[in-house]
Amino acid sequence: MKIAISAFAAAVALSGQAYAQTEIQFWHAFTGANGDRLVAQAELFNESQDEYTVVPTFKGNYSETLNAGIAAFRAGEQPHILMVFEVGTATMMAAKGAIKPVYQVMDDAGVEWDADAYIGAVSGYYTTSDGKMLSLPYNSSTPVLWVNRDKLKEAGIDPDVDLSTWEKVDEVLTQLKDAGVGCPLVTAWQSWIHLENLSGYHDVPFATQENGFAGLDTELTFNQPLQVKHIAKMGEWAKDGKFVYTGRRNEGGANFRGGECALFTESSAGYGGIKAEAKFDFGIRPLPYWDDVEAAPRNTIIGGASLWVMEGHEAEDYVGVAEFLNFLSSPEVQAKWHQDSGYLPITGAAADLTREQGFYDANPGTDIAVKQMTANEPTANSKGIRLGNFDQIRGIIDEELEAVWSGDKDAQAALDSAVERGNQLLRRFEQANR
């Protein structure tokens, strides 16, 4: 009886202590292995101090999480931290009154924080033109070229063949086709890799006003000669069976991991899946560029998600938020995240630590994405893309590219149409956020 009472008293004391802690709600879009890693980060933070408890909650895929956050804000029930994918950046940015910019959260909380510690090519996407960080980059990746080395060997091609430029890739695709390979090239995220990154990598604008960073009165410009040339070439490859189209998202990953395809343009974050499933010798190469463009290769653009802090909570809550975001940015947490998940490190310190730990030597090719991102200082064209209604614009681009792959439209006509339709959505966004 005595034991029971003391156990009860202890439980009350414990729960009392739990109530004294401030809860930080963190809504995210991760399941599976990355979801477990995210929860582990939150637990580690919770154990590291006793004032705050971060409560991670899974809210569905990226779109669903953003929707949940918006609906919650309308109902006055918003979380402290909301994970938003990169295409939702302009939507969040425009929502003044709903969000609290990260630099402000850090300033108000008075925590020690160095905005320059972040890798410019990563954080630039979520930073204002005058260098103020709006949201904390969480999971960022960039497209690279994945190579099935066994497939190249089978086709009688040196697996270390030069694939640095699209001209070279063109030759190899022809050799693969002639050797009877059914799927020489496949891609994921076509708009992100073959239009957005293509533009940034060659230092040509995707849209006016610094790709939308400088204002809402931006217009799409991806129907210029470079993009038309690239899409036309891919259309030709599709017609000749050198490029196989599998869908708008990353459906092609299954084809590559299954060993059907020789080359695969996909996010660097595809590493975990490919490493786990591929039963062949694979290699990672930098994303190819067009050799005749002098500015290339510049740097590639990121994709992924960042963490936005929502308005409407107690001032003391934001101190906890600031500490958690700072914790996530620490070299140890970042290095582990980078090595486990394949996402890019967000700080230079995390990349250095990873190198010191010998990870890049043990896993050749894993530093290619980091190098590709950081080789050059980002320009206005390669810093990122910030457009309203971007999710729908990508949908339009997908539709028009499908018209090219199926041979219904030529590249110029399709891109012209995508630009025209996309511009209408940009005008609507401008109007909604006047």
Partner 1 sequence: MEKRVTFKGWLLPLLLIAPQVAISAVFFFYPAGQAIWQSLFIPDPFGLSMQFVGLGNFEYLLTDPYYRESFVTTAVFSTLVTLVSMIPALFLAVLADRLIKGAGVYRTLLIWPYAVAPAVAGVLWLFMFNTRVGVIAWYLGLLGYDWNHVLNGGEAMGLVVVASAWGRISYNFLFFFAALQAVPKSLIEAAAIDGARFWRRFFTIVLPLLSPTTFFLLVVNIVYAFFETFGVIHTITAGGPQQATTILVYKVFKDGFVGQDLGSSAAQSVILLFVVGLLTVIQFKFVEKRVHY
User: What is the rounded distance in angstroms from the CA atom of residue 208 to the CA atom of residue 280?
Assistant: 43
Pick the stretch among 5-13, 189-197, 340-348, 390-398 that binds partner 1 (CB under 8 A): 390-398
Q: Identify which of 364, 367, 372 has the alpha carbon closest to the alpha carbon of residue 350.
A: 367
Question: ∠ at Cα 228 (257, 290), nearest 5°?
Answer: 65
For residues 156 and 182, which CB has a smaller minimum distance to partner 1 in the complex? Answer: 182
Residues in the interface with partner 1 (CB under 8 A) total 41
The pair of structure tokens assigned to 426 is 């940009």
Pick the stretch among 92-100, 143-151, 157-165, 216-224 that binds partner 1 (CB under 8 A): 92-100
Residue 265 in the binding site for partner 1 (CB under 8 A): no
Which H or E run includes 316? helix 315-329
Residue 399 in the binding site for partner 1 (CB under 8 A): yes
Smallest distance, partner 1 to C-beta of residue 143, A: 20
Among 391, 413, 416, 423, binds partner 1 (CB under 8 A): 391
Question: In angstroms, what CA-CA distances link 286 with 61, 146, 190, 352?
Answer: 28, 9, 17, 20
Residue 91 in the binding site for partner 1 (CB under 8 A): yes
Pick the stretch among 169-177, 208-216, 240-248, 376-384 that binds partner 1 (CB under 8 A): 240-248
Residue 199 in the binding site for partner 1 (CB under 8 A): no
Distance of CA 337 to the CA centre of its chain: 14
Radius of gyration of the chain (CA): 23
For residues 355 and 421, which CB has a smaller minimum distance to partner 1 in the complex? Answer: 421
User: What is the rounded distance in angstroms from the CA atom of residue 397 to the CA atom of residue 16?
Assistant: 54
| CA within 13 Å, CB half, 237 | 28
Peptide bond preceding 297 in cis form (omega within 30 of 0): yes
Pick the stretch among 113-121, 171-179, 343-351, 424-432 that binds partner 1 (CB under 8 A): 424-432
Question: In angstroms, what CA-CA distances link 343 with 171, 303, 337, 338, 339?
Answer: 31, 10, 7, 5, 8
Among 139, 187, 211, 246, binds partner 1 (CB under 8 A): 246
Pick the stretch among 155-163, 277-285, 351-359, 395-403 that binds partner 1 (CB under 8 A): 395-403
Residue 392 in the binding site for partner 1 (CB under 8 A): yes
Pick the stretch among 35-43, 113-121, 284-292, 399-407 that binds partner 1 (CB under 8 A): 399-407
Q: Identify which of 351, 397, 370, 360 has the alpha carbon closest to the alpha carbon of residue 142.
A: 370
Residue 60 in the binding site for partner 1 (CB under 8 A): no
Smallest distance, partner 1 to C-beta of residue 222, A: 18
SS3 helix, strand, coil % of the chain, rounded to 5?
Answer: 50, 15, 30
Residue 423 in the binding site for partner 1 (CB under 8 A): no
Among 254, 278, 295, 413, binds partner 1 (CB under 8 A): 254
Residues that bind partner 1 (CB under 8 A): 63, 66-67, 70, 73-74, 91, 94-98, 245-248, 251, 254-255, 258, 260, 389, 391-392, 395, 398-400, 402-403, 405-406, 408, 421, 424-425, 428, 431-434
